[in-house]
Structure 1
Amino acid sequence: MRLTTPAGLASRAVLGAAISGMVLAGSLAIVVAIATAGGMILSAYGSDLLGFVRITPPRLFWPIVWSLCALGATGLFVRAIVRTVRTERAAFLEGASPLSETEIVETSSIDSAVERLARQVGIPTPTVRIDSAATPLAYTTYRPDAPLVGAGRDETPVIVLSTGLVETLSQSELSAVLAHEIAHIANDDLRLITVLLVPLVAAETLAEDEGSTSNVFELCGHLLSFVASIGVGVFSRGRELAADRAAAVMTGEPATLASALENLDESSTSKPTTDLRDHARSTNAINVLPTLGPANSGTGLRSTHPSLETRLDQLRSLARD
């Protein structure tokens, strides 16, 4: 059951996909160019060597070598992207324990709320895990062994709640946050955002050292990363507002989600940032609040979340209707 209004979000989805598609094409073009250049250098030395031993290769021999170099480099590049995404998924679940293995007293209420909300929107009940982080976090991710892109609808996502979030919110506010995350699942947001994150990961793979521009390829990698993050932001901000609207409809209490967002925002700014994950690309795109600080929430092109004021205004409007 989809809870979004496709017509209203179609333009954002198309624009985000177009930007990310261009970034992925650019990243692959750079990899192919590097590999082909390497093949040409190899052919220059190889021609001299073959000429020394009086061997004349067929006319298409070296172009085939260049093509094989490009194909091999592309394969290695794709493999690196897959490994990065799966490593990050594993990091998002590292230290997160099943509800049955935690000491929080809200276990039964969380279980019942998730089951009720999932049944309400007609999706399989997602798994819930608890992270011991003191920073309030609520995000959804796939298991590391799930398909990289386009995980099937039978692939059950995992909702992760931090101890800090559970301790900060009341039961009704916690249910509203869970409704927000379940709305993301019902709207296929997790699957779609993963598709858009692949070009970002690809671009960042070209420029592994942050801030380093030692050559033209790293410079291109940084530029492509910047553009890719714009595409992710354009898409993600719309989906966050849609998930807020859906959560308000599911719970029938827009004011409760508004209260939860305000409490989480205050708690997030007052706690140290040591609990934030080093690799937060995917988490940041589907967390109920941005995990990377104010720069990722607001009106900036790269912001993954709308400003808190925008979200609260929407919820207040829904409460008045």
Structure 2
Amino acid sequence: MKRILLFIMTNILVMAMVSIILNVFNVQPYLTSSGLNTQSLLIFCLIWGSVGSFISLMMSKFMAKRAMGVEIVDGNPQFSELVSTVHHLAKKAGLTKMPEVGVYQSPEINAFATGPSRNNSLVAVSTGLLNRMNKDEVEGVLAHEIAHVANGDMITMALVQGVVNAFVMFFSRLVAFAIDNAMRDENGRGGLGMFARMGVTIVLDIVFGIAAAPLVAWFSRWREFRADAGGAQLAGRHKMVAALQGLQRTIDVVDPELDAGNDNFAALKISSPKSIAFLFSTHPPLEKRISALQQGNF
């Protein structure tokens, strides 16, 4: 129920913001009596694709806390060492405002960083990670997450996803219009009809979205290598390697209840299980990440 309410709230905000922006910029309908206005279509798709992505970014901390059950532990003496380590690494990375530090209940060995900006971020770790990793490994994981924050990876990911969303929408509507046109006779009669055209557009959105997913996944994998390099600079290469080796030993330990339905947070975490479809994986294989760090290939 919590996830459904978050989904509904996000979509209401997206629709409201899109409506306001379309009115402010006086964007005209892209389907007119004289045909398809590609300029209006492109602006429409850019607004829809970007606004949805950035509203998700702005709500990312709130959604992560609710969906993952993150408890903020700043000021909690039980987690004082965790908080002080995050703050130390954040200052070393040049952050002027310290991230919130949170813990979520899960046997999985993982952590993630999220938030709309460098000065408004959250670093959260699982109880499984705290219980099964030693001090150096934990510091390496935290350094990786702080590197994500310092690099502005949440913002760049939103930008990439927004642009991809826009072009997926643009080409699906362009192709749907072409199919509709091809089915009309010389007098302009026939065609798909409104509901069939909507159905074709939705199918094309899905097909083009799947086709574009490897591009977003590639960017996500690239930023993981960059965050590993940043983590090595902050905590030391040996601690970053130790953290990845620790994850490698425990990668198959997951919490099915928390993992199900939380795919939106997969790209935010430090690792993910091996995927058969590597092109769609948000994380490179741990062995490649370890090798890159050991060889200094970053």
Which TM-score band applies after superposition, normalised by the shorter structure?
A: 0.5 to 0.7
Q: Which has the higher contact order (CA 8 A, sep 6+)?
A: 1
The answer to whether the Cα contact below 8 Å between 2:71 and 2:104 also exists between their aligned partners in 1 is: yes
Q: Give the deviation of 1:318 after TM superposition.
A: 4.4
Measured in 1, the distance between the counterparts of 2:46 and 2:163 equals 14
**Structure 1 range deviating more: 256-265 or 243-252:** 256-265
Aligned to 1:262: 245
Q: Over aligned residue pairs, what C-alpha RMSD do you find?
A: 3.7
The Cα offsets for residues 277-298 of structure 1, whole Å up to 9 and x where unpaired, read as 51433x32231102xx3228x8
Q: State the structure with more CA Rg.
A: 1
Choose from 129, 132, 141 the match for 1:168: 132
Residue 255 and residue 238 in structure 1: after superposition, are their counterparts in 2 closer, same or farther (change >3 A)? same
Between the aligned residues of both structures, percent identity stands at 23
Q: Give the deviation of 1:90 after TM superposition.
A: 3.1
Q: Give the deviation of 1:99 after TM superposition.
A: 0.9
Point out where structure 2 has 5 or more consecutive residues left out of the alignment. Answer: 1-28, 173-197
Structure 1-normalised TM-score?
Answer: 0.62
**Structure 1 range deviating more: 125-134 or 67-76:** 67-76
Aligned to 1:294: 274
| Aligned-partner residue type, residue 289 of structure 1 | S
SS in structure 2 of the partner of residue 215 of structure 1 = helix
The answer to whether the Cα contact below 8 Å between 1:168 and 1:264 also exists between their aligned partners in 2 is: no
How many correspondences in the alignment? 239
The answer to whether the Cα contact below 8 Å between 1:135 and 1:275 also exists between their aligned partners in 2 is: no
Q: How does 1:50-65 map to 2 (within 5 A)?
A: none
Q: Give the deviation of 1:240 after TM superposition.
A: 0.9
Point out where structure 1 has 5 or more consecutive residues left out of the alignment. Answer: 1-34, 41-61, 207-213
The Cα offsets for residues 131-163 of structure 1, whole Å up to 9 and x where unpaired, read as 112222211111xxx5xxxx4x5x321111111
Structure 2-normalised TM-score?
Answer: 0.66
Aligned to 2:286: 308
Residue 181 and residue 82 in structure 1: after superposition, are their counterparts in 2 closer, same or farther (change >3 A)? closer
Structure 2 residue 109 is the aligned partner of structure 1 residue 126: no
SS in structure 2 of the partner of residue 122 of structure 1 = coil
Q: How does 1:1-321 map to 2 (within 5 A)?
A: 36-37=30-31, 89-94=61-66, 95-100=69-74, 105=78, 107-124=79-96, 125-142=98-115, 146=116, 151=117, 153=118, 155-199=119-163, 215-252=199-236, 254-276=237-259, 278-281=261-264, 283-290=265-272, 293-295=273-275, 300-318=278-296
Measured in 2, the distance between the counterparts of 1:174 and 1:236 equals 22
